[in-house]
Amino acid sequence: MAKTFSYNSTEKLKSRKQLDALFTKGKSFLVFPVKVFFAEVNNESDAPMKVGVGVSSKHFKKAVDRNRIKRLLREAYRLNKIPLTEFIQINNKKIAVFFLFIDKTIPAFSLLQNKMPTVIAKLIKSLNENNIANT
């Protein structure tokens, strides 16, 4: 595990197809102010996790604010992703996740930094339930 905190381009959720599938078929839960979409995928592609980040352009009209929030979300995810990667490696899964920010004001980084572990924990828990239900 050399690249623990990294978040490079292979790990990003890019394909429009995968995104559409995630929003239509995937499951979701809410840990305010972040809504999480997730789904298991059977893709043969490289990375085991595909993660994306988004903000509504209705709530934030200026591109500067949207970029700021997306950066903060990425940073928070990057610093708290270790439990998720370990879980994925153990269970040999491939997942796609999308974090959507739904508040209407720009958050402080400390808030997201505090929330993100609970988000990851909930994600792992729900993935586990899904696994049990499938088997």
Partner RNA sequence: CUACAAACCCGAGCUAUCGUUCCAAAUUUAUUUGGAAAGGAAAGUCCGGACAGCAAAGGGCAACCCACCGGUUAAUAGCCGGCUAUUUAGUGUAAGAGAUGCUUCGAGUACCUCAGCAUGACAAUAAGAGAAAGUGCCACAGAAAAUAACUAUCUCAAUGCAAAUUGGGAAAAAGGUGAAAAUGUGAGGUAAGAGCUCACAGCCUCAAUUGGUAACAAUUUUGGCGGGUAAACCUUGGGUGCUGUAAUGCCACGUAUAGUAUCGUUUUAAGAGCGGCUCGUUCAAGAUACAGGGUAGGCAGCAAGAUUCAAACAGUAAUGUUUGAGCCAGAUAAAUGAUAGUUUAGAAACAGAAUCCGGCUUAUGAGGUUUGUAGUUUU
Partner RNA sequence: GGUCUCGUAGUACAAUGGAUAGUAUUAGAGUUUCCGAAGCUCCAGAUUCAGGUUCGAUUCCUGACGAGACCA
Binding site for RNA (CB under 7 A): 2-9, 12-17, 19, 52-54, 61-64, 67-68, 70-72, 74-75, 78-79, 108-110
Secondary structure (DSSP) of the chain: ---SS---GGGB---HHHHHHHHHH-EEEEETTEEEEEEE----SS-SEEEEEEE-TTT--SHHHHHHHHHHHHHHHHHT-HHHHHHHHHHT--EEEEEEE--SSPPPHHHHHHHHHHHHHHHHHHHHHHHHHH-
- Least Cβ distance, residue 125 to RNA (angstroms): 26
- Least Cβ distance, residue 115 to RNA (angstroms): 14
Which C-beta is closer to RNA: that of 2 or that of 90? 2
- Least Cβ distance, residue 130 to RNA (angstroms): 24
